[in-house]
Structure 1
Amino acid sequence: MYERSVLVVEDEPFIRGLVSDKLKSDGFKVEVAASAAEARKIADTKDIDIVVLDIDLGAGPNGLDLGLALHKMHPELALVFLTHVPEPRIFGLDVKSIPKNAAYLLKERLSDPNVLNDAIEAALRDRVGPEFRDDLKPSHPLVNVSRIQLDVLRMIAKGMSNQQIADARGTSLRAVENLVNRAISAAGIDAESKTSARVIAVREFIRVAGLPE
């Protein structure tokens, strides 16, 4: 019987171990990588059928960048993205950029012992449906916030002032203020003052995306 090979790309050793051990117990041959560079080397030198990628890989290319690059070089690879972040635009990508038959799973769903294996099987058969595309069913308040507005919220969450954001973006202070106000409006935040609305917007960004680096 052919033993299918999975490459697990995850920078957190504990999660990497859990995922790889589960896949081994399910009968897969497992290779592991802790970085995008290591993953590329393995994909180029070994016969891999499926790549299971964490999206946040720390410094360097993220898992979405890596997945798209691997898909371009090896279009036969099945892809399963794992993440705590339900909104790929946080990483600068639109959902349309994700390959059609790639799975996108929130890590919280891994508490179901069957979901990862089921997603892999669907990806291998080019039959990934909505049940394995958590990016297509966002239920957070930032869903209507544009990518540019998300980027501004990310910089605010890093502690940058409006003037610092304007300097970084090469734009005017007024333009940044307008972006922040539109982001707050798009997120449906209704607060008594601009200051409290800004705090709530940043809190929601951190809740959805985590603390920015």
Structure 2
Amino acid sequence: MVKETILIVDDEKEIRKLIDIYLKNEGYNTLLAENGEEALKLLENNEVHLIVLDIMMPKMDGIEACLKIREDRSMPIIMLSAKSEDMDKIMGLTTGADDYLTKPFNPLELVARIKSQLRRYIIFNDKKSINTSLIEVDGLTMDIETHEVRVNDEEVKLTPREFDILKLLAQNKGIVFSTEKIYETVWGEEFFGSDNTVMVHIRKIREKIEENSRKPRYIKTVWGVGYKFEA
């Protein structure tokens, strides 16, 4: 069985080779690029299921590359960076990344995160699924089978992680989910109280689906508790 193709983008040759070795040992196909410009060219001619994208690179850095990729593609993106400050993480997630790993990293942890992201991506994009599920609420439509979201019949492009969060809330209309519960359900990892990842993703979802993100119609904030999808 042929496994998915993963694009590794990093200006450090040793890092590219390291990730390449671990992924090939898992049976994945790989493509390698040393900057954002090379990555975009590879995307034009190859089917890619996930991207491992370094932030600090010459010619075109990871932030700019991520923004361009997100213009018309929704595969998962895991960002790598030598920076660990919260603002750098927020910047990466805000531009459309689904996950963020700080260098130096454990290659086994990266492989585990790649597998987790791919599982979600494949499930939501499996066109052969026999269970078509539509969620329709006040002008917003989510197709779980095709991973499409529309607001007032206009297509909205969400990242896989953003789609997971919206799906969780929309399938449980009126129920309040804490930040901790959203994180542990969608990310499948233990939540740390200082992590504002969920907040960043909620803000990005609102910017895409709400006419006025400061006065949201769909995702409501329940102060001191969490978030809910308006019933």
> If the TM-score is normalised by the length of the shorter chain, which range does it land in?
0.5 to 0.7
Cα deviation 1:131-186 (Å, max 9, x = unaligned): 5999x749xxxxxxxxxxxxxxxxxxxxxxxxxxxxxxxxxxxxxxxxxxxxxxxx
**Partner in structure 1 of residue 94 of structure 2:** 97
Does the 8 A contact of 2:50 with 2:76 survive in 1? yes
2: CA distance, partners of 1:104 / 1:98: 12
**Partner in structure 1 of residue 39 of structure 2:** 39
**Partner in structure 1 of residue 109 of structure 2:** 115
Matched letter for residue 117 of structure 2? A
Does the 8 A contact of 1:105 with 1:132 survive in 2? no
Q: How does 1:61-80 map to 2 (within 5 A)?
A: 61-75=60-74, 77-80=75-78
**Partner in structure 2 of residue 106 of structure 1:** 102
**Aligned residue pairs, count:** 131
**Partner in structure 2 of residue 50 of structure 1:** 50
Aligned-pair RMSD on alpha carbons? 2.9
Aligned residue for 1:51, secondary structure, equals: strand
Task: Mark the CA change 1:106 to 1:131 in structure 2 (over 3 Å): closer, same or farther.
Answer: farther
More strand by percentage: 2
Report deviation, 1:39.
Answer: 0.4
Does the 8 A contact of 1:119 with 1:132 survive in 2? no
Task: Mark the CA change 1:72 to 1:133 in structure 2 (over 3 Å): closer, same or farther.
Answer: farther
Matched, 1:85 2:83: yes
State which structure, 1 or 2, has the greater radius of gyration over its C-alpha atoms. 1
TM-score normalized with structure 2 length: 0.49
1: CA distance, partners of 2:36 / 2:104: 23
Report deviation, 1:103.
Answer: 1.1
**Partner in structure 2 of residue 14 of structure 1:** 14
TM-score normalized with structure 1 length: 0.53
Does the 8 A contact of 1:7 with 1:48 survive in 2? yes
1: CA distance, partners of 2:40 / 2:190: 24
Does the 8 A contact of 2:53 with 2:80 survive in 1? yes
Q: Which runs of 5+ in 1 are unaligned?
A: 139-213
Matched letter for residue 2 of structure 1? V
More helix by percentage: 1
Q: 1:129 aligns with which of 176, 184, 187?
A: 187
Q: % of aligned pairs identical?
A: 26
Does the 8 A contact of 1:104 with 1:133 survive in 2? no
Task: Mark the CA change 1:96 to 1:74 in structure 2 (over 3 Å): closer, same or farther.
Answer: closer
Report deviation, 1:71.
Answer: 2.3
Does the 8 A contact of 1:88 with 1:95 survive in 2? no
